[in-house]
Amino acid sequence: MNEIEYSAERKITPAQFIDILSRSGLAERRPVSDRGRIATMLDHADLLCTAWADDNLVGVARSVTDFAYSCYLSDLAVDRAFQGTGIGTELIRLTQSQLHPKALIVLLSAPQAAEYYPKIGMTQHHSAWVAPASPPIPGSPP
Ligand X SMILES: CC(C)(COP(=O)(O)OP(=O)(O)OC[C@H]1O[C@@H](n2cnc3c(N)ncnc32)[C@H](O)[C@@H]1OP(=O)(O)O)[C@@H](O)C(=O)NCCC(=O)NCCS
Q: Nearest distance from residue 81's CB to ligand X, in Å? A: 10
Q: Which of 3, 9, 55, 115 lies at the binding interface for ligand X (CB under 6 A)?
A: 115
Using CB under 6 A as the binding rule, the residues of this chain from 75 to 94 that contact ligand X are: 76-78, 83-89
* Residue 52, burial from CB neighbour count under 10 angstroms (0-12, 13-18, 19+): middle
**Site membership for ligand X, residue 125 (CB under 6 A):** no
**Site membership for ligand X, residue 109 (CB under 6 A):** yes
Of the candidates 88, 92, 47, the residue with the CA atom closest to the CA atom of residue 65:
47
* Residue 51, burial from CB neighbour count under 10 angstroms (0-12, 13-18, 19+): buried
Q: Nearest distance from residue 102's CB to ligand X, in Å? A: 23
From the list 3-11, 42-50, 107-115, 128-136, the region that binds ligand X by CB under 6 A is: 107-115
**Site membership for ligand X, residue 31 (CB under 6 A):** no
Nearest to ligand X of 39, 110 (CB atom): 110
Q: CA–CA separation, 50 vs 12, rounded Å?
A: 9
49 touches 95 (CB < 8 A):
yes
From the list 6-14, 42-50, 112-120, 130-138, the region that binds ligand X by CB under 6 A is: 112-120
Q: CA–CA separation, 18 vs 16, rounded Å?
A: 5
